[in-house]
Structure 1
C-alpha cells in the first residue's frame, strides 16, 4: 500500500489489491491502450486525462468502466483488467475509485462525447509527459505515477 496526499491535501491510500477499504469502490479510472498508444480524453477545462467517472446505481465497476470509456472516447474495450483501487479520505465525501487497464478494440466516431471533447491518442512517455500543462491535474498525482510504474512492471 502507498499513502500520500493529493493536491487538495486529502490523504490517499493506493493498493493493487481488491476490496481493501471500508468503503466499496463506486468510481473508476481507466488506463487505455490502443495500437501501442495511450487513449486519453480531452476535458475542456482540465486537459488530457484517462477516462473515468462514477458508477450509476446498480452498475458494476466493470460496466461503469466500459460505459465511461465509450462515452468519453467512443472506444470499445477488447479486454478489461482490474489493476487496483485507491481511497481518498476527503473530510466531507470520502470515496474509493477502482483502477482498470483496458485494451481497446476500436474507436467509433461519435457526435457527442458528453462532458469531454473526445479521444486523444498519445504515444509519448505518459509517466514524464503527464506533468506538462496539457494534462489535467488528475494526471499529476501519485495514483497515476504508481499505477503506470505498476503496469510497466507487470507487462
Structure 2
C-alpha cells in the first residue's frame, strides 16, 4: 500500500490489492490506450485527465468505468482490467475509487461528451504533468505515477 498527499494535501491510500477499501466504490478512473496512444479527455473545468466519474445507481464500478469512457471520449472499451483502488480522506468526505486500465478499439464521434470536450490522444504522458497547467489535479499526484508503474509491471501495455 502507498500513502501520500494529493494535489490538495489530502491523504491518499492506494493499493493494488483486490478492493481493499470497498467492494462497492462510488467512483472510477480509467487509464486508456487506443492505437498505441494514451486516451484522455479534456474536462471543461479541470483540463486533461483520464476519463472517470461516479458509479450510478443500478451499475457496478466496472460498468461505470465503461460508461464513463464512452461518455467522455466516445471510446468503445474492448478490454478492461482492474488495477487497484484508492481512498482519499478529505476534510468533508472520503472518496474511494477503482482504477482500471482499458484497451479502446474504436473512437466514435458524439454530439456531446457531457462535461468534457471529448477525446485527447497523446503518444506520451509528459513527465512534468504535476507542473503543467493543461492537466487536471487528478493527474498531479502519486496515483498516476504508481498506476503507470503497475501497468508496466503487470505487462498490461502488451495486451493493449
TM-score (norm 1): 0.94
- Equivalent position of 1:115 in the other structure: 115
- Write the distance in 2 (CA, Å) between the matches of 1:23 and 1:110: 32
Which string of whole-angstrom CA distances, capped at 9 and with x for unpartnered residues, describes residues 43-93 of structure 1?
122111000000001211111001000000000000010000000112321
Aligned alpha-carbon RMSD (Å):
1.4
TM-score (norm 2): 0.91
Query: Is the 8 Å Cα contact of residues 26 and 54 (structure 1) preserved in structure 2?
Result: yes
Match of 1:45, SS state, is: coil
Query: Is the 8 Å Cα contact of residues 127 and 148 (structure 1) preserved in structure 2?
Result: no
- Equivalent position of 1:5 in the other structure: 5
Equivalent pairs, count: 154
Match of 1:118, SS state, is: strand
Structure 2 runs not aligned, ≥5 long: 156-160
Structure 1 runs not aligned, ≥5 long: none
Query: Is the 8 Å Cα contact of residues 23 and 96 (structure 1) preserved in structure 2?
Result: no
- Write the distance in 2 (CA, Å) between the matches of 1:24 and 1:115: 24
- Equivalent position of 1:56 in the other structure: 56
- Equivalent position of 2:68 in the other structure: 68
Match of 2:33, SS state, is: strand
Query: Is the 8 Å Cα contact of residues 19 and 84 (structure 2) preserved in structure 1?
Result: no
- Write the distance in 2 (CA, Å) between the matches of 1:43 and 1:19: 27
Match of 1:48, SS state, is: strand
- Write the distance in 2 (CA, Å) between the matches of 1:35 and 1:140: 25
- Equivalent position of 1:130 in the other structure: 129
